[in-house]
Amino acid sequence: MTDAPLAQITAGCLLVVDDQESNIQVIGAALGRLGFEILPATGGAQVFQRLAVRRPDLILLDLLMPEMDGFEVCRRIRDNPVWAEIPIIFLSSADEKGLIVRALESGGVDYITKPFNHAELVTRVRTHLALKKARDELKQLAEDRDELLGILAHDLKNHLGGMDMSAQLLRDRTEAMADPKLRLMAENISHYSSQMLTFVKQFLANASADHGLNLKTEQINLSDAAARAVQQHQQAAKCKQLVLRIVLPPNGMLVEADGAALNQVLDNLLSNAIKFSPPDKQIRLTVCPPGAKYVECQIQDEGPGFSENDKIGMFRRYGRLSARPTGGEPSTGLGLSIVKKLVLAMRGELACESTLGHGATFAFRLPRALLSL
């Protein structure tokens, strides 16, 4: 971000729009001698001719003009993604509060009344150019950061995946050996490589959700998707001596959803239920139709439940809950954040009901498909 004083921000191209050429000349004289390049336009049609040839750094726009007023010019500029981020300062002899509010709501960043003070005009132009430069630099920094993190995360995932597989093979080989220290080291390598791989995978999923979800909704049988998810988690539940049950309606339930996103929602919620449940407990997944518009899926566990403070922050990224995994599993604090983003992106709803010490029920609703089975 720039820390240069406003007096040093003099370079830039300004599009000055006014139906009175004399006003353009006055503005041009005030700003031109400070190093600004002035592009004149006497009406809306000429504005778009100028913009088609060159993108200015800032626009000074007269509000009241014949044929096309400043409101309409501003609206059309904001509707075009190529020009949408150009700062627009309205200029007008009208100082009615209603007009000023309307001008700012239409997309203007500032409003200067005529006749204007030259020093005020120069300062406001420099201020908004400095703000625009700062926004551009922040945007570029964010893009550079995301690109770097994406590269690192993908490379880490590939390397960690290979390390995790090797660690599991090593652990399996050392189980039959008599040396307890060797077995412990192999178990530690396998455990921590698995934790790192889980974190990187969820980090990537969360980053993808942050950058806009490109979901393709279609009609999906929620009952079938739930049954597959339960089947995939049966072995993990068995290893922790948990009973994983499923209750489905007789004819299935069609919803509007993205298949990959729905699978990820079910995977995260079932994984969490298994992760936080102590042995010899039951986890129940139920698909039920709560109304004409939605189909609901509930995942109920008999774990430690959540406190009121947990409920406040449970869907935030990297949120830490009072409950801890019962089998030493990794907990990144990203799973529920991802679930909420995906459910909302599919035009659904997500809720949690829980009392500390008495388990938890996560329920998500998705729009019912128009056709029924």
- pLDDT tens string 80-97: 988 999 999 999 888 788
60: pLDDT strictly greater than 50: yes
pLDDT digits (tens, 9 = 90+) for 257-269: 998 889 889 988 9
Tally of CA atoms within 13 A in the half-sphere of 170 that contains its CB: 17
208: pLDDT strictly greater than 50: yes
How would residue 373 be classed by pLDDT, with cut points 50, 70 and 90? very low
76: pLDDT strictly greater than 90: yes
159: pLDDT strictly greater than 80: no
Task: Name the strand (E) or helix (H) holding 80.
Answer: none
Segment 304-321 mean pLDDT = 76
329: pLDDT strictly greater than 70: no
How far apart CA 201 and CA 203 sit, in angstroms, is 5
**Joined tokens for residue 212:** 């806009």
Segment 19-42 mean pLDDT = 90
Q: Which of 223, 268, 225 is nearest to 248 (CA)?
A: 223
295: pLDDT strictly greater than 90: yes
Give the pLDDT score at 41: 93
* Comparison of pLDDT for 121 and 183, the residue scoring more: 121
104: pLDDT strictly greater than 70: yes
Give the pLDDT score at 2: 43
Segment 319-326 mean pLDDT = 66
Segment 236-250 mean pLDDT = 90
Give the pLDDT score at 113: 86
Segment 338-353 mean pLDDT = 90
Q: What's the predicted TM-score (pTM) here?
A: 0.52
100: pLDDT strictly greater than 50: yes
Give the pLDDT score at 255: 93
* Comparison of pLDDT for 249 and 184, the residue scoring more: 249
Structure-token match 């203007």, residue found = 108
User: Across the chain, where does the E strand assignment appear?
Assistant: 12-17, 36-41, 58-62, 88-92, 110-113, 218-221, 243-247, 254-257, 282-288, 294-301, 349-354, 360-367
- Is omega for the bond preceding 180 within 30 degrees of 0, making it cis? no
Mean pLDDT, all residues of the chain: 83
Contact 112, 95 (CB under 8 A): no
Q: Which of 282, 300, 286 is nearest to 244 (CA)?
A: 282
Contact 296, 257 (CB under 8 A): no
Q: Which of 88-92, 97-101, 173-177, 183-187 has the highest mean pLDDT?
A: 88-92
Strand partners, 38: 14
How would residue 204 be classed by pLDDT, with cut points 50, 70 and 90? low
Strand partners, 110: 89
How far apart CA 362 and CA 342 sit, in angstroms, is 14
Contact 93, 86 (CB under 8 A): no
238: pLDDT strictly greater than 50: yes
Segment 94-106 mean pLDDT = 86
Q: Which of 33-37, 197-201, 317-321 has the highest mean pLDDT?
A: 33-37
Give the pLDDT score at 335: 72
